[in-house]
């Protein structure tokens, strides 16, 4: 067990961490609360379905694509100025969205919030890396993971309760504003090496930033509107994805061969441990968001719950997710190793996703409550475990970028999870509805528009017809959970490649990676 270097927990540290945790909670709330509030907001502003779609998507898109840029720029200009800038974007975006009188302004506000929210989440984890020694970070990553989980799960409840008064946006302003005032005086984070401002500006990898942001934006646009606004096989969906692939190939060539100071150093992917756990982070985000996004639809469509009750029904997931995130972080700190946590968390996520397949139209309250506990354990465990593995395998000078890419891949997994889940659900729902002659004529409409199906079920009296619809719905979701289970299984197998590096500096070993060798510290 490594000797632990103490963290100087003074008033300044407590104030800084509290401010960061509160902002993380706001960002997580903001990411999921809008889904419940959109129908109310759309009715008030008189928006179209496409405008409502972009209100939610613009936040996710802007939040994801700029995360690596925030990490890279924070190395140049320091953490404090960048998190202040991210908070400013978030607060201004909230005010713009709250005061908007049409969807154009609403989407602009949500985009600004997304830029700020993505930067905040990335920089919070980077700042913890600065403030706390590696061997003790489990406590704090576990707590931040817990805060993010609570915010994500309770977001739909807040969205349903506050949408009418626009407090879904206004609630961000006083808390984020207070953090904006508090952080400059309390935060003692990384300061960059002194150098002239013009030298820093010249060193930015502008070509890399443009290529990466443009490529990821194109990819996310393609996968988010595929099957929603345009068919998956249409040129409108396939062309952005194809352009994204070409763009990422050019970006990779530029970063490897041309960039003097690359925005994403290729060497952070230089070990099997790093590669396996970056894949693990992506799968973690994918499964977590599939659960948070599609389970509420089950409760609304099959169980007939209101949006607020559907959000409340996710709380059993929180009962195991949050304690497991904190507990695993503490155990990693105490035992000085993390490989076991990555493997265990991946296996529990696989088992939990498989258990969700048991849920059907007739599952009792006690049944679905119990079945949601295991995925919570697995997903919660992976919050501190994965980021520990990625940080421990990274070179010290690349820690900030490794953390930023961890946040990016988690967000990317969330976007892919919603898209893949939607494709699987639509295809399965269409096939299942075609089995019932009474619903075959509505198969296209019901499979593509969940809200339409929920409204139709609420208006129908209880009968064999509604039972068939509910059965088709729950059977379709079962395929989504089965795919999540398979992906979690692949991630669990890859987690076996994880090596335990020491959580204190000292021992130097070499890990072969094809023809390259990376020097790192490893527990023997």
325 and 379 assigned to the same domain: yes
Output phi, psi for 519, to 5 deg: -80, 130
The residue that leads in pLDDT, 212 or 181, is 212
Mean pLDDT of the chain, nearest integer: 83
258 and 280 assigned to the same domain: no
The pLDDT confidence band at residue 506, using thresholds 50, 70 and 90, is very low
Cα–Cα nearest to 475, from 311, 305, 302, 231: 302
Identify the pLDDT of residue 511.
39
The domain tally of the chain equals 3
The pLDDT confidence band at residue 54, using thresholds 50, 70 and 90, is confident
Q: Does residue 387 sit within a domain?
A: yes
80 and 145 assigned to the same domain: yes
Question: Would you say 123 and 67 are in contact if contact means Cβ atoms under 8 Å apart?
Answer: no
Identify the pLDDT of residue 282.
95
Residue at which a domain ends, from 174, 202, 230: 202
Q: Does residue 447 sit within a domain?
A: no
**CB-based contacts of 223, cutoff 8 Å, min separation 6:** 241, 415, 416, 419
Identify the pLDDT of residue 466.
80
220 and 325 assigned to the same domain: no
276 and 228 assigned to the same domain: no
Residue at which a domain ends, from 262, 279, 297: 262
Q: Does residue 233 sit within a domain?
A: yes
The number of angstroms, rounded, from the C-alpha of 128 to the middle of its chain's C-alpha atoms is 18
CA distance 232 to 238: 7
CA distance 311 to 447: 22
CA distance 7 to 13: 9
Evaluated on CA atoms 289, 351, 381, 279, the torsion sign reads negative
Residue at which a domain ends, from 220, 242, 262: 262
Q: What is the DSSP string of 144-191?
A: HHHHHHHHHHHHHHHHHHHGGGTHHHHTHHHHHHHHHHHHHHH-----
Q: Does residue 461 sit within a domain?
A: no
Identify the three-state secondary structure at position 101. Answer: coil
Give pLDDT tens digits for 373-408: 999 999 999 999 999 899 888 888 888 888 889 989
Give pLDDT tens digits for 264-303: 888 889 899 999 999 999 999 999 988 888 888 888 888 8
211 and 352 assigned to the same domain: no
Give pLDDT tens digits for 69-84: 898 888 888 888 899 9
74 and 134 assigned to the same domain: yes
Give pLDDT tens digits for 330-370: 899 888 889 999 999 999 999 999 999 999 988 999 999 99
Whether 518 has a pLDDT exceeding 50, the answer reads no
Give pLDDT tens digits for 400-444: 888 889 989 998 998 888 888 888 888 888 888 888 777 777 777
CA distance 71 to 352: 33
Residue keyed to tokens 């068939």: 468
Whether 247 has a pLDDT exceeding 90, the answer reads yes
> What is residue 313's DSSP assignment?
T
The residue that leads in pLDDT, 163 or 488, is 488
396 and 363 assigned to the same domain: yes
Cα–Cα nearest to 97, from 166, 177, 32, 165: 166
Number of CB atoms found within 10 A of residue 524's CB: 6
The residue that leads in pLDDT, 204 or 240, is 240
Identify the pLDDT of residue 497.
94
Q: Does residue 395 sit within a domain?
A: yes
80 and 138 assigned to the same domain: yes
Identify the pLDDT of residue 18.
85
CA distance 475 to 434: 13
Percent of the chain with pLDDT strictly greater than 90? 28
Residue keyed to tokens 């070990």: 271
Q: Does residue 110 sit within a domain?
A: yes
CA distance 487 to 382: 15
Two structure tokens written together for 98 = 């709250």
CA distance 59 to 121: 13
242 and 272 assigned to the same domain: no
Identify the pLDDT of residue 41.
74
Give pLDDT tens digits for 5-41: 445 567 777 888 888 888 888 888 887 777 667 766 7
Query: What angle, 0 to 180 degrees and rounded to 10, lies between the N-to-C axes of helices 49-65 and 67-77?
Result: 40
Task: Assign residue 105 the CATH number of its domain.
Answer: 1.20.1250.20
Q: Does residue 503 sit within a domain?
A: yes
87 and 224 assigned to the same domain: no
Number of CB atoms found within 10 A of residue 428's CB: 20
Vertex 224: Cα angle to 250 and 229 (nearest 5): 120
Lowest mean pLDDT among 156-160, 234-238, 404-408: 156-160
Domain that holds residue 134: 9-187+196-202
Residue keyed to tokens 């075609």: 434
Q: Does residue 452 sit within a domain?
A: no
256 and 333 assigned to the same domain: no
pTM of the full structure = 0.85
Residue keyed to tokens 């902002």: 23
The residue that leads in pLDDT, 230 or 493, is 493
Question: Would you say 299 and 310 are in contact if contact means Cβ atoms under 8 Å apart?
Answer: yes
Identify the pLDDT of residue 165.
55
CA distance 513 to 271: 6
Whether 1 has a pLDDT exceeding 60, the answer reads no
């Amino acid at each position: 067990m490594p000797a632990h270097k103490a963290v100087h927990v003074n008033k300044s540290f407590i104030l800084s961490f509290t401010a960061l945790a509160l902002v993380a909670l706001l960002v997580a709330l903001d990411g999921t609360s809008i889904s419940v509030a959109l129908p109310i907001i759309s009715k008030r502003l008189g928006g179209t379905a496409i405008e409502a779609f972009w209100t939610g998507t613009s936040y996710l898109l802007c939040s994801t694509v700029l995360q690596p840029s925030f990490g890279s720029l924070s190395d140049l200009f320091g953490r404090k100025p960048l998190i202040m800038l991210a908070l400013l974007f978030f607060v201004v975006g909230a005010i713009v969205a709250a005061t908007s009188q049409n969807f154009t302004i609403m989407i602009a506000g949500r985009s600004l919030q997304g830029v700020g929210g993505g930067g905040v989440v990335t920089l919070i984890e980077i700042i913890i890396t600065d403030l706390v020694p590696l061997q003790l970070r489990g406590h704090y990553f576990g707590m931040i993971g817990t805060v993010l989980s609570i915010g994500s799960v309770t977001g739909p409840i807040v969205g349903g309760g506050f949408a009418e008064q626009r407090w879904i946006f206004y609630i961000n302003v006083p808390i984020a504003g207070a953090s904006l005032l508090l952080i400059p005086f309390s935060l003692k984070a990384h300061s960059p090496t002194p150098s002239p401002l013009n030298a820093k500006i010249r060193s930015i990898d502008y070509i890399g930033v443009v290529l990466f942001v443009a490529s990821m934006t194109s990819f996310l646009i393609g996968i988010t509107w595929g099957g929603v606004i345009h068919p998956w096989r249409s040129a409108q969906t396939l062309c952005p994805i194809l352009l994204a692939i070409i763009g990422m190939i050019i970006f990779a060539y530029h970063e490897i061969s041309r960039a003097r100071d690359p925005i994403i150093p290729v060497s952070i992917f230089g070990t099997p441990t790093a590669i396996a756990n970056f894949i693990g982070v992506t799968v973690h985000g994918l499964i977590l968001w599939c659960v948070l996004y599609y389970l509420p639809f089950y409760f609304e469509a099959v169980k007939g719950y209101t949006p607020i009750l559907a959000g409340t029904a996710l709380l059993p997931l929180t009962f195991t997710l949050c304690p497991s995130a904190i507990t695993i972080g503490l155990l990693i700190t105490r035992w000085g190793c993390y490989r076991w946590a990555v493997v265990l968390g991946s296996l529990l996520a696989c088992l939990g996703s498989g258990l969700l397949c048991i849920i059907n139209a007739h599952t009792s309250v006690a049944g679905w409550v119990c079945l949601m506990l295991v995925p919570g354990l697995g997903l919660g465990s992976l919050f501190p475990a994965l980021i520990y593995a990625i940080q421990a395998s990274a070179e010290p000078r690349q820690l900030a970028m490794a953390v930023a890419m961890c946040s990016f891949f988690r967000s990317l997994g969330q976007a892919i999870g919603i898209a893949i889940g939607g494709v699987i659900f639509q295809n399965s729902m269409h096939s299942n509805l075609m089995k019932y002659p009474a619903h075959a004529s509505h198969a296209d409409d019901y499979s593509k528009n969940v809200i339409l199906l929920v409204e139709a079920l609420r208006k129908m009296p209880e009968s064999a017809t509604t039972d068939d619809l509910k059965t088709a719905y729950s059977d379709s979701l079962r395929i989504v959970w089965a795919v999540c289970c398979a992906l979690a299984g692949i991630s669990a197998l890859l987690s076996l490649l994880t090596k335990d590096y020491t959580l204190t500096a000292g021992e130097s070993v070499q890990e072969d990676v094809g023809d390259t060798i990376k020097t790192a510290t490893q527990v023997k």
